[in-house]
Amino acid sequence: MRLVREESGVTVVELLVATSLLAIVLTATFRPLTAYERTASQNRAQNEAQGRARVTLDRMARELRNVAGLTQFIDKATATDLVYQTVDPTTGPSGTNTTGLRRVRYCLQSSALRIWRQTQTWTTSSPPAVASTTSCPDSAWTTQEVAADQVTNGVRAVFTYNDNTDLTNISLIHADIYIDVSQTQRPPESLLSSSSYLRNQNKAPIAAFTATPTANRHMILNGATSSDPEGGALTFKWFDGSTQIGTGQTCDCIALGTGNRTIMVQVADPTGITDTATQTVKVK
C-alpha cells in the first residue's frame, strides 16, 4: 500500500492578500521618505536662493561705500529701481575715465521673480546720460545678470530711503528681499535685509541772494547767503532771464531792461553740483 503525502501551498487569495499587505507597508515606508526628500530639496533650493540674495546685498553695500565725494551719484531711487554711480577698484581706468567710474542698476522684475543687476561703463571723462530704465532688465545697459531669483516682494518695496524726493539728500538706502521657492509648500518665505548709510556723499549747495537796484539798470547782487554743506568754495553766475549778465559772489550787474526783471543766481560747488535761486527785481 502506498502512502499519499499531504501537500500544502499558497492559494491565489493568500497571494493577493500578501501582495496587498506588502504594498501597504511599502507605501507607508516610502511616503515619509518621499516627503522628507521633497522637504530637503525645497530647503536646499531656499538656502541657495537666500545665498544668492545675500551675495547681492553684500555686493551692493560694497559698491555704495565707494560713492563718497561723487557728483550726483544716485541717478534713480524708487521702490523697485535703484541706479547709482560707483568706483570699481578692480577694473581701473578706461580711456579718460581715470577713476574707473561706472553706473550700477538693481531692479525688480516682478513677473519673473528676479532682481537684475545691470552696469553702464564708459571711457570718457564725464559720465554719459543714464541708460534707459524703461524696462527691467533693459538692453540699453552694457552688462546684465540675475542678481537674485525666487524674489516674492510683489508690491512690497525692495528699496526704501530716508528721502528720495531730492536725490542729493539720500543718506540711507535700505533693501528688503523676500525669498520663497514655493509659495504653497514649506519652508516659508524668508526675508533678507541690508542698510547702507552714506555719510560722506557730496550734497548740493544752497543758493540765495539779495538784490539792490540802483540806477541806469544797475543792480547790486550779493550771493553771500548761499552755502555749501561741506563748506566748499562756491562759484556764482548771474542771469537776467536766460541771459548771463555777471559772475562772482557780488556783482554790480546791468539788467537787460527796466521794470520787473527775473533775476537768477546759479551757484556751483567744487565738484560741479549746482543750485539756483530766483527773484523778481524792479529795475530802474
Whose CA is closest to 114, among 205, 201, 178? 178
5's grid cell: 503525502
Question: What is the per-residue pLDDT across 169-225, written as a single tens digit (0 to 9) for each?
Answer: 888 999 999 999 987 888 889 999 999 988 666 777 899 999 999 999 999 999 999
The separation between the first and the last C-alpha atoms of the chain, rounded to the nearest angstrom, is 153
Same domain as 165, residue 241: no
Residue 269 CB neighbour total at 10 angstroms: 22
CATH number at residue 270: 2.60.40.10
Looking at the chain, the whole-number percentage of residues with pLDDT higher than 90 is 59
54 in Cβ contact with 182 (< 8 Å): no
Q: Output the DSSP codes for 20-39.
A: HHHHHHHHHHHHHHHHHHHH
71 in Cβ contact with 87 (< 8 Å): no
**For all residues of the chain together, what is the average pLDDT?**
86
Same domain as 92, residue 148: yes
Same domain as 220, residue 189: no
How much is the CA Rg of the chain, to the nearest whole Å?
34
The tally of domains found in the chain comes to 2
* Residue-level pLDDT at 18: 65
Helix (H) or strand (E) holding 211: strand 210-213
**What is the residue range of 273's domain?**
210-283
Q: Which of 175, 197, 219 is the C-terminal boundary of a domain?
A: 197
Question: What is the per-residue pLDDT across 28-52, written as a single tens digit (0 to 9) for each?
Answer: 665 665 554 666 678 888 999 999 9
- Say if 30 falls within a structural domain: no
- Say if 24 falls within a structural domain: no
